Chain A
């Protein structure tokens, strides 16, 4: 009613909505994709070219579609897509949002149905001059978190000849003798934890899922161990700031250091969905290890 009174058109509303989403991106569920096999001219694709190509390819694939493209100050290209079909006009109530940084292989998408996915994929691949696009196995509610993780926009720690002094923590020293004894090992654990997950503020990833397709292994339970097929189970880690929690686990000694690749793969590979099978190298060998308390 308000919109009708003020003679606001769909155009104005969708414009406002887009501005709102760009300013408040940490809503809904975002999924990351990775473009593969770039052409030789992929790294020189510039904005105007991308905009034209994307719009034209998408309109070729689907008759009624409304596309809006905006460039943000941090060089991100935001795309708002309202989908229609051969019979109906674009539905502005359920738009898909896509974010892409030119000259990087990453694309972030929210509110995309399985029917719309192949159309979007095709348009993206053609307009960015790549050959394929695949799921990056990284998703989360906070767009900024998954973006910072993939674009490596957070402070990482590396072994260095000139180590910087560890940041002072305001700790209440319960027993100075224990502190002194533990100083060495504690510093070691902190260094390894930071190398695995990062220094300072970490991208606010909120979950990680491990789908296990491995055989059951427990000496005390013969029945289960003797089964041929894999024991399927899903392990989910959830936290307000998963990476920080994991880093604290490692630096406090709750999780053993050096950090297991199962956990350090999250920031290293930039993904939070893993399928662990018996044949996969690394992670499967970790299944036998017990974590020291």
Chain B
């Protein structure tokens, strides 16, 4: 661009960076001296058919761009290569295009079609990169194309493409802010995404496009909290800082009852120091200790946020640690904030830039919460090798931390600092001593004496700084310090620093009554040297003269007049003005008596002592860790951290449920979310231990409904139920009980049946993912398993009541037979894995035994009769092709009316479906008499994903929200093929499309019959004949996409087996593997 030609010349030798390496003529380096020649040369190279020449040319062009040189006139030649086969050429062309498209809009349009084609590519990575480049081209004319592409990508199957879509949103917004409304829609949709990959990017987009639309977060709040630990570091920072703001608008201040909490605060703080693991509970302990006096109860969602961010203090990324620290500082109750100190102190070991930022924040925090950093005082001691800016910040922190007890050590440290060679630092140290002296009365004299000693220092700067500080200190208690003032007066002969001289003069003038003999003499000396003084000293000389004239006019009248006369002819108009003004005031004249009578009051009015305070005071009204805080000025785009609301806004907005069921589901969810935390921190050692996370809460709510339908003695059952919960809670978190108690009261009022509805919703809520990545499938499992188990319960309650009793009521004592999961430790997200390991076990033990052997699919409940006010709805996957549309899964829906009035007009109401999913509704059932039942068939196109189809079931009077979620095995239909065909197809689906797992077959299912039955029960696949006896093959096609799904089970002797699934749809493949393994191993 504006690069001077000289620049290119002196870099000429090394200019063509690739040249020596890539074996090109070294002379070509000289090309850079002549623009025309070079460009012709490059154009030629770009026009050839040889990739290597093109590459070489592109490399040189990129090198030019990197050095900031203009390469825009090559645009047409470069753009031609946008469709080049060579991947590196292509990438470099993209780099070029993004850089210059803005300048050459018309030509850039030539490339658009290439990207549009790329957007349709079957490979997700190519789709993503096409979108990425397309959205980076800043050409306003393609805004509609971009908008379309983003919308499409936002509902892409691949989370990676959706992530790219999220990245594209701010790009489009910066190009054309009129698109805001449409973009917000896309953001809303992506916010609902359940993958960790997307979360960080979409929140980033949210922050850039519509940070004010806090309402979009409600429904996703809990999900974001739960996903947080698995999001990549950069996303974590953005999400945490957004959630801080969100929490400030939605929750009540935890410190509002500070005074009450105060007495407990100390204890709780140290408690958390000693035992990190209990740290989170300590507030609750405190809360439990004063239930009567303390009406504030932290919103469970508030607690959730604090709890889920705490582990991130251990992150290796300083930015994440800082983000969590500011979150705790702004949101946590006082007693809990202490936990962040350790982590922040750790960051002080990092690079000096990191230290700089962290120390700024620590300085602000240490003013408000001094106790927090006191144990780490020594970590702020200054080393001679620290850069000056770090030294000064550390000094600031040390000063803030100084108190009665540690002041001796701090002052001793300061003493060493004063002898430092770094004079700026010494000056800052003296200031710091002054501040310590003002803050801590006990050491004021010591400090003052120390400072006075410094007055004999050889370094003038030190002396001057001391004088300034002493002046401020003396102002607080002038009476006792006549000696010091005398000492200072003597210094006027030596000190040359104007500020110091001015300070001394001011002091003498102000307290001339304490030094009545010396003051006139000082004035005499100053009058002598008046003309040579600096301006600020001159002003103070006039001041001194005026004050002396007023108190001691006999001795100083002539001197004063002399000084004023000198000042009258000074070059500086300020001084001339001051002299004129002073003369009028003090020298009595005939006309202006009124003012001069009050002159004494004007000049010698008692002046308040200056307050020495930190420049970091009150900086915390900026969000900590932000740029604005660092600069102490509002940066562009800074979002104010709102004050806590007076009244908490409705917490139910965060429920992902219809508001009617708030209370109940709220509680359920809360419970569910707390469990994993406790169980994990106590160690996921045994199966019972881990069993008390999610599935249990599922099962409980479930047992409520099933026990009711089964036996009708609902009340006693549910009491049991409550007890169960209590026990469990006692084990998990005793401290919570006080909170739980009042919760329970509200809960008991809620009719039992509603628990069911909320739990079904919970399934979709708690699953932290949609349908793509490996990890997702893991959690999908979590979501699937309990659900299917639940649905299978009613039939089994008839056939095997004993099993049901045990499993549902005594779940805690129930230990599944095989403890060790065959869990593939390899590809599991770190934290989720720990969470999930237990889950799959407990439920899946029950699954196989409940499977009906015929169709493999039991009836599952859609609507419980209590929730449905007499209308009970079940569904089964019939595994028959759906007549209307072959891509649809046919679902048989059974209605039965157990109320005493006929139900009329049963039909499906406005379905709210995820993208791609469609429903073929069943014909309306006009009337269902009491006691009667009916069956209807509907088709659902699940679009090869296990996302639930949510829709409304309407009667004439009521609407019920229901959802059908398919097990992965139901998304396919069997295909019959020969062994050879099978092998051929399998050969095509290798590599990424192949998923292999090892497993141990239990003794119970080593026979052919059982294996085949279990596999076909799990998945709707057809058996493929097979030559060898211990190999089983199954084949199917997914219903919507028609992709092949091939399953091979290779059973070896002694129960070892290997399961292989080949499918283009990797997600379906992975989920299927999991499901089948579970079915087989239990």
- A and B assemble together: no
Residues of A participating in the B interface, judged by any CB pair closer than 8 Å: none
Residues of B participating in the A interface, judged by any CB pair closer than 8 Å: none
